[in-house]
Amino acid sequence: MNGQTILGNPSDPRITACGVRIDGQEMATLRPFIEGATDLNGNFAFSIATHSQGGGSTTSQRNRFSAGSLGDTQVVINRPGRVRITLVVTDDAGKTLCDLDQTIELSQPTTRI
């Protein structure tokens, strides 16, 4: 899964799209995003749980966001493996704007000849 977008569930009309973009060949880079109102501020929680033959790990980030952007938040993980991605975005009042909870398989990196 490279150059893919996993869409979340927007639950507020100020959000037109949200989710996680996945890029990278040898390593996978996961970047959460929201699209919508530029005057939107709040908080987000982004969590990645990986499971592979080598074991498992969990990475979590919680932070504020402003101007309708989560900034350059990213998590880089090894391939291959099963990955559970969780994202919750709330506004300053605590109302959920977007949520995502999905498990995917990241394939083995392609071998270049």
Per-residue pLDDT of 8-28, as tens digits, reads 999 999 999 999 999 988 889
pLDDT tens, position by position, 42-61: 999 999 999 877 788 899 99
Please enumerate, as own/partner, the contacts of 15-23 that have beta carbons within 8 Å and a separation of 24 or more: 15/40, 15/89, 15/97, 15/98, 18/87, 18/89, 18/97, 18/98, 18/100, 19/87, 19/98, 19/100, 20/85, 20/87, 20/100, 22/106
Q: Mean pLDDT score of the chain, rounded to an integer?
A: 90
Q: Give pTM, 2 decimals.
A: 0.88
Per-domain boundaries in the chain? 4-106
* Amino acid (one-letter) located at 3: G
**Which architecture characterizes domain 4-106 according to CATH?**
Sandwich (2.60)
The pLDDT of residue 80 is above 90: no
Residue 110 has a pLDDT of 65
